[in-house]
Amino acid sequence: MLRVLPGLLAAGLFLMVHPLSAAAQAPPAQGRTTTSEKTTSEKPVCPVTLKEVEITENRAYSDYRGRQYYFCCPACKPIFDKNPGKYVRALEAKRKAAKRRAA
């Protein structure tokens, strides 16, 4: 019993310090604004590669100015985080061009 106790304590401390990745990268809670909420048919787009992405339980995202931006892969998150304004402007330009083409 005494040999098991230190292992259990270490596991408990580890989980307290390192949140589970699914909880840390969970989809937005109700009431949160995402990049896909402008229109119901608009899918989220990775602001770095400008590819459409599916929101899954463990999809990487960043919060920027009250909105959540989802990424096609984990490598895009640190790139976006270094200069989010640059990538948000590119994403908005793509959306405006698509609206012009549709009109």
Q: State the DSSP code for 62.
A: E
The residue with tokens 């604004």 is 33
Confidence of residue 85 (pLDDT cuts 50, 70, 90): very high
Burial (0-12, 13-18, 19+ Cβ within 10 Å), 56: exposed
78 torsion bin: left (phi>0), alpha (psi -120 to 50), beta (else): alpha
The pTM of the full predicted model, rounded to 2 decimals, is 0.59
CA angle, corner 88, sides to 83 and 93, nearest 5? 135
Let me know: does 88 contact 69? Beta carbons within 8 Å: yes
Q: What is the pLDDT of residues 4-58, one digit of tens each?
A: 445 544 444 343 433 433 344 455 443 444 544 444 457 899 999 999 999 998 9
